[in-house]
Amino acid sequence: MTKGRSSAQANPRGTVKELFTQPTLPALNRALLNRGINPHAIVTIVEMHGQAMAGSRHPQFRVLYEVH
């Protein structure tokens, strides 16, 4: 099993893309508005917790959305 990360995956309904934002509603709304993402196209929003150890990262939202 390989552990990879793809920003677009094919499915029968369209392409699923992802974006990452700061974990606040204003930042999420700005990102969706700036990219013209329709709320009906959102598949899921996942809260990604920060990591303080190796590979350090800040908390963020991961948004998966469909593009036709």
pLDDT tens by residue, 11-62: 566 799 999 999 999 999 999 999 999 999 999 999 998 877 777 788 999 9
Statement: the pTM of the whole predicted model exceeds 0.85 = no
DSSP state of 3: -
Q: Going edge to edge, which strands form the sheet with 60-67?
A: 8-11, 14-21, 60-67, 42-48
DSSP state of 23: S
Token pair of 58 as six digits: 């800040």
Which secondary-structure segment (H or E) carries 34? helix 25-35
Whether 10 has a pLDDT exceeding 70, the answer reads: no
Distance CA 22, CA 59 (A): 7
| pLDDT level of residue 7 (50, 70, 90 thresholds) | low
